[in-house]
Amino acid sequence: MHAADRIRIVLVGTQHPGNIGSAARAMKTMGLHRLVLVAPERFPHADAVAMAAGAGDVLDAAPRVSHLAEAVADCRLVLGCTARSRRIALDELLPGDAASRAVATAAVSADTQVALVFGRERTGLDNDELQLCHAAVTIPADPGYSSLNLAAAVQVLCYELRMAMLGLRALAPAAAAAPAPDGDVPASHAELEGFFAQLGDTLDAIDFHKGRAPASAMRKLRRIFLRASLDDRDVRLLRGVLADAQRMARLAGERGG
Amino acid sequence: MHAADRIRIVLVGTQHPGNIGSAARAMKTMGLHRLVLVAPERFPHADAVAMAAGAGDVLDAAPRVSHLAEAVADCRLVLGCTARSRRIALDELLPGDAASRAVATAAVSADTQVALVFGRERTGLDNDELQLCHAAVTIPADPGYSSLNLAAAVQVLCYELRMAMLGLRALAPAAAAAPAPDGDVPASHAELEGFFAQLGDTLDAIDFHKGRAPASAMRKLRRIFLRASLDDRDVRLLRGVLADAQRMARLAGERGG
Protein backbone atom coordinates (compact mmCIF):
# COMPACT_ATOMS: atom_id res chain seq x y z
CA MET A 1 0.00 0.00 0.00
CA HIS A 2 2.49 2.61 -1.21
CA ALA A 3 -0.02 5.49 -1.16
CA ALA A 4 0.28 5.50 2.65
CA ASP A 5 3.94 6.48 2.31
CA ARG A 6 3.03 9.58 0.28
CA ILE A 7 0.21 10.91 2.43
CA ARG A 8 1.16 13.01 5.44
CA ILE A 9 -1.01 14.33 8.25
CA VAL A 10 0.02 17.87 9.19
CA LEU A 11 -1.03 19.30 12.56
CA VAL A 12 -0.72 23.08 12.77
CA GLY A 13 -0.24 24.90 16.08
CA THR A 14 -1.70 22.09 18.19
CA GLN A 15 -2.31 23.37 21.72
CA HIS A 16 -2.73 20.15 23.71
CA PRO A 17 0.08 17.59 23.37
CA GLY A 18 -2.38 14.81 24.28
CA ASN A 19 -4.17 15.52 21.01
CA ILE A 20 -0.94 14.99 19.08
CA GLY A 21 -0.61 11.57 20.69
CA SER A 22 -4.25 10.66 20.00
CA ALA A 23 -3.85 11.78 16.39
CA ALA A 24 -0.77 9.56 16.01
CA ARG A 25 -2.75 6.61 17.38
CA ALA A 26 -5.68 7.36 15.05
CA MET A 27 -3.28 7.48 12.08
CA LYS A 28 -1.52 4.24 12.92
CA THR A 29 -4.75 2.26 13.33
CA MET A 30 -5.54 3.26 9.75
CA GLY A 31 -2.12 2.31 8.39
CA LEU A 32 -0.73 5.84 8.12
CA HIS A 33 2.59 6.84 9.64
CA ARG A 34 3.74 10.22 8.25
CA LEU A 35 3.00 12.94 10.80
CA VAL A 36 4.37 16.50 10.51
CA LEU A 37 4.03 19.04 13.33
CA VAL A 38 3.93 22.74 12.56
CA ALA A 39 4.80 24.87 15.60
CA PRO A 40 3.12 22.70 18.27
CA GLU A 41 2.64 24.64 21.50
CA ARG A 42 4.15 21.91 23.71
CA PHE A 43 6.09 19.01 22.22
CA PRO A 44 7.67 16.62 23.05
CA HIS A 45 5.44 16.06 26.08
CA ALA A 46 4.50 13.14 28.34
CA ASP A 47 0.79 13.57 27.46
CA ALA A 48 1.56 12.99 23.80
CA VAL A 49 3.40 9.77 24.58
CA ALA A 50 0.62 8.57 26.92
CA MET A 51 -2.17 9.17 24.40
CA ALA A 52 -0.21 7.68 21.50
CA ALA A 53 -0.41 4.27 23.23
CA GLY A 54 1.38 1.93 20.80
CA ALA A 55 1.93 4.66 18.19
CA GLY A 56 5.02 6.20 19.78
CA ASP A 57 6.99 5.41 16.64
CA VAL A 58 4.76 7.78 14.66
CA LEU A 59 5.48 10.56 17.17
CA ASP A 60 9.20 9.84 17.21
CA ALA A 61 9.43 10.06 13.43
CA ALA A 62 7.43 13.29 13.17
CA PRO A 63 9.43 16.28 11.92
CA ARG A 64 8.72 19.67 13.47
CA VAL A 65 8.75 22.79 11.30
CA SER A 66 7.88 26.44 11.89
CA HIS A 67 5.43 27.17 9.10
CA LEU A 68 2.85 25.26 7.11
CA ALA A 69 4.57 26.26 3.87
CA GLU A 70 7.62 24.18 4.87
CA ALA A 71 5.46 21.21 5.78
CA VAL A 72 3.80 21.09 2.35
CA ALA A 73 6.56 22.45 0.09
CA ASP A 74 6.90 19.21 -1.90
CA CYS A 75 3.17 18.36 -1.96
CA ARG A 76 1.10 18.16 -5.13
CA LEU A 77 -2.18 18.18 -3.25
CA VAL A 78 -2.86 20.02 0.01
CA LEU A 79 -6.25 19.60 1.67
CA GLY A 80 -7.17 21.74 4.66
CA CYS A 81 -9.68 20.42 7.19
CA THR A 82 -12.07 23.14 8.31
CA ALA A 83 -15.04 23.08 10.64
CA ARG A 84 -17.24 25.01 8.25
CA SER A 85 -17.03 27.24 5.22
CA ARG A 86 -14.72 30.17 5.83
CA ARG A 87 -14.25 33.61 4.43
CA ILE A 88 -11.89 32.18 1.86
CA ALA A 89 -14.09 30.34 -0.58
CA LEU A 90 -12.25 27.12 -1.29
CA ASP A 91 -13.99 24.17 -2.84
CA GLU A 92 -15.38 22.09 0.00
CA LEU A 93 -14.98 18.33 -0.18
CA LEU A 94 -16.62 15.66 1.91
CA PRO A 95 -14.12 13.40 3.71
CA GLY A 96 -14.74 10.48 1.37
CA ASP A 97 -14.20 12.56 -1.76
CA ALA A 98 -11.11 14.16 -0.24
CA ALA A 99 -9.72 10.72 0.57
CA SER A 100 -10.38 9.40 -2.93
CA ARG A 101 -8.64 12.38 -4.42
CA ALA A 102 -5.71 12.11 -2.00
CA VAL A 103 -5.19 8.41 -2.66
CA ALA A 104 -5.57 8.81 -6.43
CA THR A 105 -2.97 11.61 -6.40
CA ALA A 106 -0.58 9.69 -4.15
CA ALA A 107 -0.87 6.70 -6.48
CA VAL A 108 0.47 8.60 -9.52
CA SER A 109 4.16 8.34 -8.62
CA ALA A 110 6.66 8.48 -5.77
CA ASP A 111 6.85 12.19 -6.52
CA THR A 112 3.19 13.01 -5.86
CA GLN A 113 3.11 13.81 -2.16
CA VAL A 114 -0.18 14.71 -0.49
CA ALA A 115 -0.92 16.56 2.75
CA LEU A 116 -4.02 16.65 4.93
CA VAL A 117 -3.78 19.66 7.19
CA PHE A 118 -5.51 20.11 10.58
CA GLY A 119 -5.53 23.47 12.38
CA ARG A 120 -5.54 24.58 16.00
CA GLU A 121 -8.12 23.14 18.42
CA ARG A 122 -9.91 26.46 18.94
CA THR A 123 -9.29 28.53 15.87
CA GLY A 124 -8.46 26.07 13.10
CA LEU A 125 -6.39 27.26 10.15
CA ASP A 126 -5.89 30.96 9.54
CA ASN A 127 -6.48 32.60 6.18
CA ASP A 128 -2.84 32.52 5.10
CA GLU A 129 -2.74 28.81 5.84
CA LEU A 130 -5.96 28.16 3.92
CA GLN A 131 -4.44 30.01 0.95
CA LEU A 132 -1.89 27.18 0.71
CA CYS A 133 -4.64 24.57 0.33
CA HIS A 134 -6.07 23.32 -2.96
CA ALA A 135 -9.41 22.55 -1.35
CA ALA A 136 -11.08 22.34 2.04
CA VAL A 137 -12.40 19.17 3.66
CA THR A 138 -15.38 19.46 5.94
CA ILE A 139 -16.82 16.71 8.12
CA PRO A 140 -20.57 17.37 7.92
CA ALA A 141 -21.10 17.82 11.65
CA ASP A 142 -24.35 18.89 13.26
CA PRO A 143 -24.44 22.69 12.91
CA GLY A 144 -25.87 22.86 16.43
CA TYR A 145 -22.75 21.21 17.93
CA SER A 146 -19.93 20.90 15.48
CA SER A 147 -16.94 20.78 17.83
CA LEU A 148 -15.20 17.56 16.87
CA ASN A 149 -12.16 16.82 18.96
CA LEU A 150 -8.99 17.23 16.86
CA ALA A 151 -8.05 13.54 17.13
CA ALA A 152 -11.64 12.55 16.25
CA ALA A 153 -11.41 14.60 13.05
CA VAL A 154 -8.05 12.99 12.24
CA GLN A 155 -9.62 9.58 12.89
CA VAL A 156 -12.49 10.21 10.47
CA LEU A 157 -10.19 11.43 7.69
CA CYS A 158 -7.67 8.60 8.22
CA TYR A 159 -10.53 6.10 8.19
CA GLU A 160 -11.69 7.48 4.83
CA LEU A 161 -8.11 7.36 3.54
CA ARG A 162 -7.88 3.72 4.55
CA MET A 163 -11.20 2.87 2.91
CA ALA A 164 -9.92 4.53 -0.28
CA MET A 165 -6.52 2.79 -0.08
CA LEU A 166 -8.21 -0.58 0.37
CA GLY A 167 -10.53 0.17 -2.55
CA LEU A 168 -13.55 -0.32 -0.29
CA ARG A 169 -15.19 2.92 -1.37
CA ALA A 170 -16.39 3.19 -4.95
CA LEU A 171 -14.32 5.96 -6.48
CA ALA A 172 -16.36 8.96 -7.50
CA PRO A 173 -15.51 9.49 -11.18
CA ALA A 174 -14.77 13.18 -10.60
CA ALA A 175 -12.51 12.50 -7.65
CA ALA A 176 -10.68 9.81 -9.55
CA ALA A 177 -10.21 11.97 -12.61
CA ALA A 178 -9.35 15.24 -10.91
CA PRO A 179 -5.70 15.02 -9.90
CA ALA A 180 -3.97 14.35 -13.18
CA PRO A 181 -6.37 15.10 -16.03
CA ASP A 182 -4.15 13.89 -18.83
CA GLY A 183 -1.81 11.55 -17.07
CA ASP A 184 0.65 14.31 -16.20
CA VAL A 185 2.14 15.00 -12.82
CA PRO A 186 0.14 17.55 -10.82
CA ALA A 187 2.09 20.76 -10.27
CA SER A 188 3.93 20.86 -6.96
CA HIS A 189 3.23 23.43 -4.28
CA ALA A 190 6.47 25.22 -5.18
CA GLU A 191 5.60 25.32 -8.90
CA LEU A 192 2.16 26.70 -8.15
CA GLU A 193 3.52 29.33 -5.78
CA GLY A 194 6.08 30.34 -8.41
CA PHE A 195 3.25 30.76 -10.89
CA PHE A 196 1.13 32.76 -8.43
CA ALA A 197 4.08 35.04 -7.65
CA GLN A 198 4.59 35.71 -11.35
CA LEU A 199 0.85 36.28 -11.78
CA GLY A 200 0.98 38.88 -9.00
CA ASP A 201 3.95 40.61 -10.65
CA THR A 202 2.17 40.60 -13.99
CA LEU A 203 -0.98 42.17 -12.56
CA ASP A 204 1.19 44.95 -11.17
CA ALA A 205 3.04 45.37 -14.46
CA ILE A 206 -0.14 45.70 -16.50
CA ASP A 207 -1.61 47.99 -13.83
CA PHE A 208 -4.57 45.71 -13.20
CA HIS A 209 -5.26 46.86 -9.65
CA LYS A 210 -5.36 50.63 -10.33
CA GLY A 211 -5.04 51.53 -6.68
CA ARG A 212 -7.37 48.81 -5.32
CA ALA A 213 -5.93 46.39 -2.77
CA PRO A 214 -4.55 43.40 -4.71
CA ALA A 215 -5.47 40.77 -2.11
CA SER A 216 -9.05 40.14 -3.16
CA ALA A 217 -8.34 39.68 -6.87
CA MET A 218 -5.37 37.42 -6.12
CA ARG A 219 -7.48 35.31 -3.79
CA LYS A 220 -10.09 34.80 -6.48
CA LEU A 221 -7.48 34.04 -9.13
CA ARG A 222 -5.74 31.53 -6.86
CA ARG A 223 -9.05 29.79 -6.39
CA ILE A 224 -9.69 29.56 -10.12
CA PHE A 225 -6.28 28.07 -10.86
CA LEU A 226 -6.20 25.73 -7.85
CA ARG A 227 -9.56 24.39 -8.97
CA ALA A 228 -8.14 23.66 -12.41
CA SER A 229 -5.73 20.99 -11.01
CA LEU A 230 -2.80 22.25 -13.06
CA ASP A 231 -0.02 19.90 -14.07
CA ASP A 232 3.56 21.02 -14.71
CA ARG A 233 2.97 21.57 -18.42
CA ASP A 234 -0.07 23.75 -17.68
CA VAL A 235 2.05 25.85 -15.34
CA ARG A 236 4.77 26.24 -17.96
CA LEU A 237 2.22 27.29 -20.57
CA LEU A 238 0.56 29.84 -18.28
CA ARG A 239 3.92 31.24 -17.16
CA GLY A 240 4.83 31.65 -20.82
CA VAL A 241 1.72 33.77 -21.35
CA LEU A 242 2.57 35.85 -18.26
CA ALA A 243 6.16 36.34 -19.42
CA ASP A 244 4.93 37.81 -22.71
CA ALA A 245 2.46 40.10 -20.95
CA GLN A 246 5.29 41.27 -18.67
CA ARG A 247 7.57 41.82 -21.66
CA MET A 248 4.90 43.87 -23.35
CA ALA A 249 4.35 45.97 -20.22
CA ARG A 250 8.11 46.57 -19.95
CA LEU A 251 8.19 47.65 -23.56
CA ALA A 252 5.29 50.03 -22.98
CA GLY A 253 7.09 51.47 -19.96
CA GLU A 254 10.45 51.85 -21.73
CA ARG A 255 8.99 53.43 -24.80
CA GLY A 256 6.90 55.73 -22.66
CA GLY A 257 9.88 56.62 -20.42
CA MET B 1 -34.09 13.80 10.78
CA HIS B 2 -36.23 11.37 12.79
CA ALA B 3 -33.90 8.41 12.26
CA ALA B 4 -31.55 9.98 14.84
CA ASP B 5 -34.24 9.56 17.49
CA ARG B 6 -34.45 5.83 16.83
CA ILE B 7 -30.74 4.99 16.80
CA ARG B 8 -29.02 4.44 20.15
CA ILE B 9 -25.35 4.00 20.96
CA VAL B 10 -24.86 1.34 23.64
CA LEU B 11 -21.58 1.22 25.59
CA VAL B 12 -21.04 -2.07 27.43
CA GLY B 13 -18.84 -2.33 30.51
CA THR B 14 -16.83 0.79 29.75
CA GLN B 15 -13.78 0.94 31.99
CA HIS B 16 -12.66 4.57 31.67
CA PRO B 17 -15.35 7.17 32.36
CA GLY B 18 -13.45 9.66 30.16
CA ASN B 19 -14.26 7.42 27.21
CA ILE B 20 -17.97 7.68 27.98
CA GLY B 21 -17.67 11.47 27.85
CA SER B 22 -15.69 11.39 24.60
CA ALA B 23 -18.24 9.02 23.08
CA ALA B 24 -21.08 11.41 24.04
CA ARG B 25 -19.22 14.27 22.36
CA ALA B 26 -18.57 12.18 19.25
CA MET B 27 -22.28 11.30 19.07
CA LYS B 28 -23.51 14.84 19.49
CA THR B 29 -21.23 16.25 16.78
CA MET B 30 -22.94 13.81 14.41
CA GLY B 31 -26.46 14.71 15.50
CA LEU B 32 -27.07 11.64 17.70
CA HIS B 33 -28.24 11.89 21.28
CA ARG B 34 -29.45 8.50 22.55
CA LEU B 35 -26.74 6.91 24.71
CA VAL B 36 -27.32 3.82 26.87
CA LEU B 37 -24.74 2.60 29.39
CA VAL B 38 -24.56 -1.08 30.32
CA ALA B 39 -22.78 -1.66 33.64
CA PRO B 40 -20.13 1.07 33.29
CA GLU B 41 -17.27 0.52 35.76
CA ARG B 42 -17.33 4.12 37.06
CA PHE B 43 -20.20 6.44 36.30
CA PRO B 44 -21.16 9.19 36.94
CA HIS B 45 -17.62 10.55 37.06
CA ALA B 46 -15.91 13.91 36.66
CA ASP B 47 -13.76 12.57 33.78
CA ALA B 48 -16.90 11.76 31.81
CA VAL B 49 -18.21 15.28 32.24
CA ALA B 50 -14.85 16.82 31.35
CA MET B 51 -14.46 14.82 28.14
CA ALA B 52 -18.07 15.37 27.08
CA ALA B 53 -17.31 19.10 26.65
CA GLY B 54 -20.63 20.54 25.42
CA ALA B 55 -22.34 17.14 25.28
CA GLY B 56 -23.21 16.89 28.97
CA ASP B 57 -26.90 16.71 28.03
CA VAL B 58 -26.26 13.41 26.25
CA LEU B 59 -24.61 12.02 29.41
CA ASP B 60 -27.38 13.29 31.66
CA ALA B 61 -30.07 11.64 29.55
CA ALA B 62 -28.26 8.28 29.32
CA PRO B 63 -30.05 5.40 31.09
CA ARG B 64 -27.92 2.85 32.94
CA VAL B 65 -28.87 -0.82 32.83
CA SER B 66 -27.22 -4.01 34.05
CA HIS B 67 -27.23 -6.19 30.97
CA LEU B 68 -27.06 -5.67 27.23
CA ALA B 69 -30.35 -7.59 26.80
CA GLU B 70 -32.20 -4.80 28.64
CA ALA B 71 -30.52 -2.10 26.58
CA VAL B 72 -31.65 -3.60 23.27
CA ALA B 73 -34.94 -5.25 24.30
CA ASP B 74 -37.07 -3.06 22.01
CA CYS B 75 -34.61 -2.97 19.07
CA ARG B 76 -35.30 -4.41 15.62
CA LEU B 77 -31.68 -4.23 14.60
CA VAL B 78 -28.66 -4.68 16.89
CA LEU B 79 -25.18 -4.23 15.42
CA GLY B 80 -22.15 -5.14 17.51
CA CYS B 81 -18.86 -3.36 16.84
CA THR B 82 -15.93 -5.74 17.01
CA ALA B 83 -12.25 -5.26 16.40
CA ARG B 84 -11.97 -8.38 14.28
CA SER B 85 -13.86 -11.50 13.39
CA ARG B 86 -14.71 -13.56 16.44
CA ARG B 87 -15.46 -17.14 17.26
CA ILE B 88 -19.17 -16.51 16.71
CA ALA B 89 -19.72 -16.30 13.00
CA LEU B 90 -21.82 -13.20 12.54
CA ASP B 91 -22.14 -11.37 9.26
CA GLU B 92 -19.46 -8.69 9.21
CA LEU B 93 -20.42 -5.30 7.85
CA LEU B 94 -18.24 -2.35 6.95
CA PRO B 95 -19.17 0.81 8.89
CA GLY B 96 -20.79 2.44 5.84
CA ASP B 97 -22.95 -0.59 5.10
CA ALA B 98 -23.89 -0.91 8.77
CA ALA B 99 -24.90 2.75 8.85
CA SER B 100 -27.01 2.46 5.70
CA ARG B 101 -28.79 -0.55 7.16
CA ALA B 102 -29.29 1.16 10.53
CA VAL B 103 -30.72 4.32 8.99
CA ALA B 104 -32.93 2.40 6.57
CA THR B 105 -34.32 0.33 9.45
CA ALA B 106 -34.83 3.36 11.70
CA ALA B 107 -36.68 5.11 8.89
CA VAL B 108 -39.37 2.44 8.64
CA SER B 109 -41.45 3.59 11.62
CA ALA B 110 -41.28 4.93 15.16
CA ASP B 111 -41.34 1.32 16.23
CA THR B 112 -38.13 0.25 14.49
CA GLN B 113 -35.47 1.02 17.04
CA VAL B 114 -31.81 0.34 16.25
CA ALA B 115 -28.77 -0.14 18.50
CA LEU B 116 -25.07 0.10 17.78
CA VAL B 117 -23.20 -1.68 20.56
CA PHE B 118 -19.59 -1.05 21.65
CA GLY B 119 -17.79 -3.37 24.07
CA ARG B 120 -15.14 -2.94 26.74
CA GLU B 121 -11.88 -1.13 25.96
CA ARG B 122 -9.72 -4.23 26.40
CA THR B 123 -11.90 -7.22 25.72
CA GLY B 124 -14.76 -5.96 23.56
CA LEU B 125 -18.08 -7.84 23.64
CA ASP B 126 -18.25 -11.35 25.07
CA ASN B 127 -19.88 -14.27 23.28
CA ASP B 128 -23.24 -13.96 25.05
CA GLU B 129 -23.38 -10.30 24.08
CA LEU B 130 -22.49 -11.02 20.46
CA GLN B 131 -25.33 -13.58 20.39
CA LEU B 132 -27.73 -10.66 20.85
CA CYS B 133 -26.43 -8.92 17.71
CA HIS B 134 -27.89 -9.33 14.22
CA ALA B 135 -24.54 -8.59 12.64
CA ALA B 136 -21.06 -7.40 13.50
CA VAL B 137 -19.52 -4.13 12.31
CA THR B 138 -15.78 -3.97 11.82
CA ILE B 139 -13.72 -0.88 11.12
CA PRO B 140 -11.05 -2.16 8.71
CA ALA B 141 -8.08 -1.18 10.86
CA ASP B 142 -4.47 -2.05 10.07
CA PRO B 143 -4.02 -5.65 11.29
CA GLY B 144 -0.58 -4.63 12.58
CA TYR B 145 -2.08 -2.05 14.96
CA SER B 146 -5.83 -2.26 15.26
CA SER B 147 -6.39 -0.73 18.70
CA LEU B 148 -8.83 2.08 18.00
CA ASN B 149 -9.70 4.10 21.03
CA LEU B 150 -13.34 3.44 22.05
CA ALA B 151 -14.43 7.02 21.39
CA ALA B 152 -12.63 6.97 18.03
CA ALA B 153 -14.61 3.90 17.00
CA VAL B 154 -17.84 5.59 18.14
CA GLN B 155 -16.84 8.67 16.12
CA VAL B 156 -16.32 6.66 12.94
CA LEU B 157 -19.65 4.83 13.26
CA CYS B 158 -21.56 8.00 14.15
CA TYR B 159 -19.94 9.78 11.21
CA GLU B 160 -21.16 7.00 8.91
CA LEU B 161 -24.62 7.20 10.46
CA ARG B 162 -24.71 10.93 9.80
CA MET B 163 -23.55 10.50 6.20
CA ALA B 164 -26.35 7.98 5.73
CA MET B 165 -28.95 10.17 7.46
CA LEU B 166 -27.96 13.13 5.28
CA GLY B 167 -28.10 10.93 2.19
CA LEU B 168 -24.52 11.91 1.34
CA ARG B 169 -23.33 8.41 0.55
CA ALA B 170 -25.88 7.87 -2.19
CA LEU B 171 -25.33 11.20 -3.95
CA ALA B 172 -22.90 11.27 -6.80
CA PRO B 173 -20.30 13.63 -5.32
CA ALA B 174 -19.42 15.05 -8.71
CA ALA B 175 -23.00 16.08 -9.36
CA ALA B 176 -23.28 17.62 -5.92
CA ALA B 177 -20.03 19.55 -5.86
CA ALA B 178 -18.77 20.39 -9.31
CA PRO B 179 -21.05 22.84 -11.12
CA ALA B 180 -21.13 25.95 -8.93
CA PRO B 181 -18.32 26.00 -6.38
CA ASP B 182 -19.56 28.95 -4.36
CA GLY B 183 -23.21 29.05 -5.15
CA ASP B 184 -22.77 31.29 -8.18
CA VAL B 185 -24.17 30.67 -11.57
CA PRO B 186 -21.84 28.66 -13.78
CA ALA B 187 -20.70 30.70 -16.74
CA SER B 188 -22.80 30.16 -19.83
CA HIS B 189 -21.44 28.76 -23.03
CA ALA B 190 -21.61 32.24 -24.61
CA GLU B 191 -19.74 33.86 -21.71
CA LEU B 192 -17.02 31.23 -21.89
CA GLU B 193 -16.67 31.60 -25.66
CA GLY B 194 -16.48 35.40 -25.29
CA PHE B 195 -13.67 34.89 -22.77
CA PHE B 196 -11.83 32.42 -25.01
CA ALA B 197 -12.09 34.80 -27.98
CA GLN B 198 -10.59 37.61 -25.92
CA LEU B 199 -7.89 35.25 -24.64
CA GLY B 200 -6.99 34.42 -28.26
CA ASP B 201 -6.83 38.13 -29.17
CA THR B 202 -4.66 38.83 -26.14
CA LEU B 203 -2.19 36.06 -27.01
CA ASP B 204 -1.85 37.64 -30.46
CA ALA B 205 -1.43 41.12 -28.97
CA ILE B 206 1.36 40.09 -26.59
CA ASP B 207 2.96 38.03 -29.38
CA PHE B 208 2.72 34.80 -27.45
CA HIS B 209 2.71 32.50 -30.46
CA LYS B 210 5.82 33.90 -32.20
CA GLY B 211 5.00 32.23 -35.49
CA ARG B 212 3.82 28.88 -34.03
CA ALA B 213 0.31 27.75 -34.91
CA PRO B 214 -1.98 29.08 -32.16
CA ALA B 215 -4.34 26.08 -32.11
CA SER B 216 -2.40 23.84 -29.74
CA ALA B 217 -1.86 26.47 -27.02
CA MET B 218 -5.48 27.58 -27.22
CA ARG B 219 -6.66 23.99 -26.90
CA LYS B 220 -4.60 23.51 -23.74
CA LEU B 221 -5.74 26.81 -22.24
CA ARG B 222 -9.39 26.03 -22.95
CA ARG B 223 -8.97 22.75 -21.14
CA ILE B 224 -7.44 24.45 -18.09
CA PHE B 225 -10.24 27.00 -17.81
CA LEU B 226 -13.04 24.54 -18.53
CA ARG B 227 -11.72 22.35 -15.74
CA ALA B 228 -11.91 25.30 -13.33
CA SER B 229 -15.75 25.44 -13.58
CA LEU B 230 -15.81 29.22 -13.95
CA ASP B 231 -18.83 31.19 -12.81
CA ASP B 232 -19.77 34.54 -14.36
CA ARG B 233 -17.82 36.56 -11.79
CA ASP B 234 -14.69 34.52 -12.53
CA VAL B 235 -15.13 35.27 -16.22
CA ARG B 236 -15.49 39.01 -15.58
CA LEU B 237 -12.35 38.99 -13.41
CA LEU B 238 -10.29 37.11 -15.99
CA ARG B 239 -11.55 39.33 -18.83
CA GLY B 240 -10.49 42.36 -16.77
CA VAL B 241 -6.96 40.97 -16.58
CA LEU B 242 -6.94 40.33 -20.33
CA ALA B 243 -8.22 43.84 -21.07
CA ASP B 244 -5.28 45.34 -19.17
CA ALA B 245 -2.77 43.10 -20.94
CA GLN B 246 -4.30 44.16 -24.27
CA ARG B 247 -4.15 47.84 -23.27
CA MET B 248 -0.48 47.45 -22.33
CA ALA B 249 0.30 45.75 -25.64
CA ARG B 250 -1.48 48.54 -27.52
CA LEU B 251 0.55 51.12 -25.59
CA ALA B 252 3.79 49.31 -26.41
CA GLY B 253 2.78 49.21 -30.07
CA GLU B 254 1.77 52.87 -30.24
CA ARG B 255 4.86 54.10 -28.52
CA GLY B 256 7.01 51.88 -30.68
CA GLY B 257 5.25 52.93 -33.90
With beta carbons under 8 A apart, name residues in chain B contacting A244. Answer: 203, 206-208
* Beta carbons of A220 and B234 less than 8 Å apart: yes
* A2-177 carries CATH number 3.40.1280.10: yes
With beta carbons under 8 A apart, name residues in chain B contacting A148. Answer: 26, 29, 155
Best of B58, B156, B203, B232 to disrupt the A interface (most A CBs within 10 Å) is B156
- Nearest by CB to residue B22, choosing from A149, A230, A240, is A149
Interface of A with B in 71-130 (CB under 8 A): 89, 91-97
For chain A, give every domain's residue range. 2-177, 189-256
* Beta carbons of A172 and B168 less than 8 Å apart: no
- Nearest by CB to residue A29, choosing from B146, B234, B241, is B146
One-letter amino acid of A98: A
Q: Round to whole Å and give the CA distance between A58 and A224.
A: 36
Best of B239, B248, B251 to disrupt the A interface (most A CBs within 10 Å) is B248
Kindly state whether A238 is in contact with chain B, defined as any CB-CB distance less than 8 angstroms: yes
- Nearest by CB to residue A152, choosing from B152, B225, B227, is B152
With beta carbons under 8 A apart, name residues in chain B contacting A247. Answer: 206
B97 Cβ contact partners less than 8 Å away, ≥ 6 residues apart:
none
Best of B142, B150, B247 to disrupt the A interface (most A CBs within 10 Å) is B142
Q: Round to whole Å and give the CA distance between A54 and A21.
A: 10
Best of A137, A145, A162 to disrupt the B interface (most B CBs within 10 Å) is A145
Q: Within 13 Å, how many C-alpha atoms sit on residue A48's CB side?
A: 20
Q: Are B137 and B153 in contact (CB under 8 A)?
A: no
Query: Of A191, A183, A79, whose CA–CA distance to A138 is shortest?
Result: A79
Backbone φ/ψ region at A3: left (φ over 0), alpha (ψ -120 to 50), beta:
alpha
Kindly state whether A39 is in contact with chain B, defined as any CB-CB distance less than 8 angstroms: no
* Beta carbons of A230 and B251 less than 8 Å apart: no
* CA distances for A45 relative to B18, B67, B145, angstroms: 20, 40, 23
Name the pLDDT band for A84 (thresholds 50, 70, 90): low
Kindly state whether A176 is in contact with chain B, defined as any CB-CB distance less than 8 angstroms: no
Q: Are A240 and A196 in contact (CB under 8 A)?
A: no
Helix spans in chain A (H):
17-29, 46-52, 56-60, 68-71, 95-106, 127-131, 150-165, 173-177, 189-205, 215-227, 232-256
Kindly state whether A50 is in contact with chain B, defined as any CB-CB distance less than 8 angstroms: no
Instruction: For helices A17-29 and B150-165, give the axis angle rounded to 10 degrees.
Output: 70
Kindly state whether B152 is in contact with chain A, defined as any CB-CB distance less than 8 angstroms: yes
* Beta carbons of A251 and B247 less than 8 Å apart: no
Best of B29, B32, B57, B212 to disrupt the A interface (most A CBs within 10 Å) is B29
With beta carbons under 8 A apart, name residues in chain B contacting A223. Answer: 181
Q: What is the pLDDT of residues B99-139, one digit of tens each?
A: 999 999 898 888 889 999 999 999 999 988 988 888 899 99
> What is the count of residue pairs from A and B with beta carbons less than 8 Å apart?
203
Concatenating the DSSP letter of every residue in A83-94 gives: SS--SS---EE-
The SS3 call for residue B92 is: strand
Kindly state whether A131 is in contact with chain B, defined as any CB-CB distance less than 8 angstroms: no
For β-strands A113-118 and A7-12, DSSP reports them as parallel
* Beta carbons of A26 and B149 less than 8 Å apart: yes
Q: What is the pLDDT of residues A109-147, one digit of tens each?
A: 888 999 999 999 999 999 899 989 999 999 999 999 988
Q: Round to whole Å and give the CA distance between B233 and A113.
A: 32
Kindly state whether A252 is in contact with chain B, defined as any CB-CB distance less than 8 angstroms: yes
A34-61 average pLDDT score: 97
* CA distances for B151 relative to A89, A130, B21, B25, B243, angstroms: 32, 29, 8, 9, 57
Q: Are A31 and A163 in contact (CB under 8 A)?
A: no
The domain B2-170 is placed in CATH, from the list 3.40.50.300, 3.40.50.720, 3.40.1280.10, 3.40.47.10, at 3.40.1280.10
With beta carbons under 8 A apart, name residues in chain B contacting A174. Answer: 173-174, 177-178
Dihedrals phi, psi of A248, to nearest 5 degrees: -65, -40
Name the pLDDT band for A182 (thresholds 50, 70, 90): very low
Fold (topology level) of A189-256: Helicase, Ruva Protein; domain 3 (1.10.8)
* Per-residue pLDDT at B84 exceeds 80: no
Kindly state whether A175 is in contact with chain B, defined as any CB-CB distance less than 8 angstroms: yes
Name the pLDDT band for A175 (thresholds 50, 70, 90): very low
The SS3 call for residue A46 is: helix
Q: Round to whole Å and give the CA distance between A189 and A78.
A: 8
pLDDT value for B2: 81
Which CATH number is associated with domain B177-256?
Answer: 1.10.8.590
A232-247 average pLDDT score: 93
Q: What is the pLDDT of residues B19-56, one digit of tens each?
A: 999 999 999 999 999 999 999 999 999 999 999 999 99
B135-153 average pLDDT score: 93
ipTM of the complex: 0.76
What do you get for the CA distance between the two ends of chain A, in Å?
61
What would you report as the CA-atom Rg of chain A, rounded to the nearest whole angstrom?
20
* Beta carbons of A145 and B28 less than 8 Å apart: yes
Name the pLDDT band for B226 (thresholds 50, 70, 90): confident
Q: Round to whole Å and give the CA distance between A107 and A111.
A: 9
Residue of A nearest to B143 (CA): A29
Out of A68-82, A176-190, B113-127, B219-233, least confident range: A176-190
